[in-house]
Chain A
Amino acid sequence: MKSLAELDKLREKLQEEMRLREGKEDVKVVVTMGTCGIASGAREVLTAILEEIGKRGLKGITVTQTGCAGLCHCEPLVEVERPGRDKVTYGHVNEKKAREIVVSHLVNGQIIKEWTIK
């Protein structure tokens, strides 16, 4: 059973981790969440990314959302931007692909070219 006391413990752990990371630039992950995105599964993709980051205990990743990017036919879209690199956009992402993007791109730095869109 989840309790608020458990949240206090989690907070203490996160505060310690934050002290260690201070000053480093984050990798940015953006999921588009317009109506087109939500209807094609962006919510599921977004939560899969969170879970994968949490499960692997990855630090220094900022996940955010944005509205329709005008590429409705390629939804769900996931953008990854590593500090000092060009932004990479993945299209037609599902939960499984989202988890693989976290492992391949965020952990190992390998772009999955076949899934990217121009």
Chain B
Amino acid sequence: MMEELAHHILDVARNSLEAGATRVEITVEEDPASDVMRFSVIDNGSGMPPHVLRQLTNPFFTTKTGKKVGLGLPFLQAAVERCGGNLEIKSEVGRGTTVVATFPYYCWDRPPLGDIPRTIVSLLVGNGHLDLRYRHIYNGHSYELDTREIRSRLKGISLDTPEVLIWLRQYLTESLSILSGGGGYEIARRAG
């Protein structure tokens, strides 16, 4: 079980890395007025053939050797179903995969969004070359981070140097706090 949507996002994006993706686009869309909380992960990884796609939410299916279960997407499917949301997965071999999870914004069974900066930074550990685009839309206003831009500023220093990642985490935290007006429903939920 995942406590935060940010944990699910990390898990889905890790699948992208395991599928050999060099570019991952993560988008979080908060639209309280329309009662929508949505996230999507789009990658350019190896993609999946139809017989794998059909089995994705079966917890006893995995493509990995030496394992009997694959719980990531079944967990996400369960989280979505608990609050009447929707999970959509599209994939094409050789092109990549798109995962879109949509939840009602106001639903107490929905996991809180959680710590997005921590998820983004964790994903980049050991993956300094990854082209990661993170987009956050809150009430129609959007914020975007692209690791290609950060890397061009670093001029050869690896993006996943601990000091750089610590800076990035604080930078993201502040940027997202400004986007949501320094507070809001999700933060209140986290405080319990």
Contacts and interface: CB of A to CB of B under 8 A. Distances in A.
A32 to B, nearest CB: 11
Given A39-B2, A54-B163, A63-B162, A7 B122 contact: no
A15 to B, nearest CB: 6
B67 interface: yes
A50 interface: yes
A23 interface: no
B61 interface: no
A35 B72 contact: yes
A14 B167 CA distance: 13
Interface residues of A, number: 36
A33 interface: yes
B154 A11 contact: yes
B167 A63 contact: no
B174 interface: yes
The B interface, classified by DSSP as helix, strand, loop or mixed, is helix
B167 A68 contact: no
B157 A14 contact: yes
Interface stretch (B7-15, B21-29, B82-90): B7-15
Interface in A44-67: 44, 46-47, 50-51, 53-54, 58, 61-65, 67
B122 A54 contact: no
A82 interface: no
A35 B62 CA distance: 12
A1 to B, nearest CB: 6
Nearest to A7: B153
Given A10-B163, A33-B14, A68-B64, A50 B121 contact: yes
B166 A50 contact: yes
Interface of B: 1-2, 7, 10-11, 14, 18, 64, 66-67, 70-72, 75, 118-119, 121-122, 125-127, 150, 153-157, 160-167, 169-171, 174
Interface of A: 1-2, 4, 6-8, 10-11, 13-15, 18, 31, 33-36, 38-39, 43-44, 46-47, 50-51, 53-54, 58, 61-65, 67-68, 70
Given A33-B14, A39-B7, 12 more contacts: A7-B150, A7-B164, A11-B164, A15-B155, A35-B72, A39-B1, A47-B169, A50-B121, A50-B166, A54-B166, A65-B125, A65-B126
